Amino acid sequence: GQQVMQIPQYQHVQEGEDFTTYCNSSTTLSNIQWYKQRPGGHPVFLIQLVKSGEVKKQKRLTFQFGEAKKNSSLHITATQTTDVGTYFCAGPRGSTLGRLYFGRGTQLTVWP
Amino acid sequence: DSGVTQTPKHLITATGQRVTLRCSPRSGDLSVYWYQQSLDQGLQFLIQYYNGEERAKGNILERFSAQQFPDLHSELNLSSLELGDSALYFCASSASAGSSYEQYFGPGTRLTVT
């Protein structure tokens, strides 16, 4: 079945360093969503990418969708302690079902 | 605050018991999803309902069942509980049934089976 693989599983950075997490699918995705879960919290929607090669920015966060729509990345520039949490990518199975396959997530720790 | 409410927040029960988790979606959202999150399995999709009807099913055990009521709230029933069922259970809602709709997660119910 379709799987969404996410790497790395853990990332520890010092405040001010950059951070990137990668998401890869075995099949073409119609869209990909990114969520953030703070420690002790629930996943919160960050963004959705739909178009091949799409790049979207939210302040220090840059999201990319690959040309083949099989991979995506989230890059955070100059991390802050508020960036701590687990970042998940999620891709659908088919275009009509609402089911999302979530990656295992990348747990980001930021040292002050 | 996502607008999705879940009760109870915490639940401690014994093996073999049955529990019911409740979820109220965001106002206007027709689709409800249930997820199980455990340390070793990540965020696992269990089931989706749309406007009262089952829409998609994931790796939901036969001991688990769910339903969505006419007022759109949903309940997840877990029976014959085992130690391995201990996890965080999230409900999420979205405006419609398709995968292009963002999902809003509730705060979760932490289930501990002893």
Q: For chain B, say whether A85 makes contact (Cβ under 8 Å).
A: no
Q: How confident is the model at residue A9 (pLDDT cuts 50, 70, 90)?
A: very high
Q: For chain B, say whether A96 makes contact (Cβ under 8 Å).
A: yes
Which amino acid is it at B10? Answer: H
| Test the A interface: residue of B32, B38, B43, B101 with most A CBs within 10 Å | B43
Distance from C-alpha of B27 to C-alpha of B74, rounded to nearest angstrom: 13
Strands A19-25 and A71-76, sheet pairing: antiparallel
**Mean pLDDT (chain B, rounded):** 94
CA distance B98 to chain A (A): 4
Distance from C-alpha of B60 to C-alpha of B66, rounded to nearest angstrom: 10
pLDDT of residue A97: 62
In the predicted structure, residue A96 carries a pLDDT above the cut 90: no
In the predicted structure, residue A95 carries a pLDDT above the cut 60: no
| Test the B interface: residue of A99, A104, A106, A107 with most B CBs within 10 Å | A99
Report the chain A residue with the minimal C-alpha distance to residue B55: A97
pLDDT of residue A100: 84
CA angle B65, B66, B68 (to 5 degrees): 160
Q: For chain A, say whether B45 makes contact (Cβ under 8 Å).
A: yes
B11-25 tens-digit pLDDT: 999 999 999 999 999
Cβ within 8 Å, pair A99-B58: yes
